[in-house]
Amino acid sequence: MGMDITVLVVDWSWLRKVTPQERLPRLRDAWYADETGLWDGVPPVEGDWVWPRGPHGAFFAIYEFLGTCGSFKAHFWAGERWALLRDHADPLVRTELDTLLLGLIWDGPDGEAPHVDPGFFSDDPGVSYGLVVARSPDSVRELAATWEGIQPRLGGLRGTFDEHVAHPRGWVGDFDEFTRLLEEWGHVLAEAAERGWGVVGLSE
């Protein structure tokens, strides 16, 4: 799990104007375009959004997660911590966190959970290379609602996490790191849901 991840909220109506095969190249071209102003030497602010300038500025934004240096490792290990924690969690909390994490970053008990909505982008691996997460506006709204339901109950997992999962020297090794990452995903989902946009995670 040495790859990086870039998480974006994306205007679905803008992507929908082209075919599924053209959507990911369109997003990548806009993301890497010189005129976006994303790569002008100004360091991004962790825990905040980077909004592009130029002709594509109204169509997407990148979220910079705290303390991850853009690595997918934090997200992967959050899923691994949950895999160890879930059997000790209240059934309702387990169901809701399963739904949230299976929809975003956790591969599930069998390691095969899909994080890409069918039809969002091309199913051709040659076209969709680097796609880690792709959630349509409908999926985003459902995941955002799940997050709103689970957030007030997260604190109840602290003791269980500390007893069964904590790993002080590892990625997402304490409860505060775990919940912070989930809260940041909740922030991403809320932003996208409010705009009626999708969420996309791309590896580099």
**The pLDDT of residue 102:** 95
pLDDT at 180 over 90: yes
pTM: 0.93
Domain of 46 in residue numbering reads as 5-203
More confident residue, 168 or 64: 64
**183 pLDDT higher than 90:** yes
Q: Rounded CA gap, 25 and 179, in Å?
A: 33
Q: pLDDT, tens digit, for every residue of 65-84?
A: 998 888 999 999 999 999 99
pLDDT digits (tens, 9 = 90+) for 87-111: 999 999 999 999 999 999 999 888 7
Strand partners, 124: none
Mean pLDDT of the chain: 90
> Residue 97: which residues within 8 A CB-CB, separation 6 or more?
82, 86, 89, 150
**pLDDT the model gives residue 85:** 95
Alpha carbon distance 188, 94 (integer Å): 21
pLDDT digits (tens, 9 = 90+) for 117-132: 988 888 887 777 888 9
Share of the chain above pLDDT 90, in %: 67
Q: How many domains does the chain have?
A: 1
What's the per-residue H, E or C state across the chain? CCCEEEEEEECHHHHCCCCHHHHHHHHHHHHHCHHHCCCCCCCCCCCEEECCCHHHCCCEEEEECCCCCCECHHHHHHHHHHHHHHHHCCHHHHHHHHHHHHCCCCCCCCCCCCCECCCCCCCCCCCCCCEEEEECHHHHHHHHHHHHHHHHHHHHHHHHHHHHCCCCCCCCCCHHHHHHHHHHHHHHHHHHHHHCCEEEEEEC
- pLDDT > 70 fraction of the chain, expressed in percent and rounded: 95
Amino acid found at 5? I
Beginning with the edge strand found earlier in the chain, give each strand of the sheet holding 198-203 in spatial order.
48-50, 60-64, 5-10, 198-203, 131-135
- Tens-place pLDDT, residues 134-177: 999 999 999 999 999 999 999 999 999 999 999 888 889 999 99
Evaluate if residue 45 carries a pLDDT over 80: no
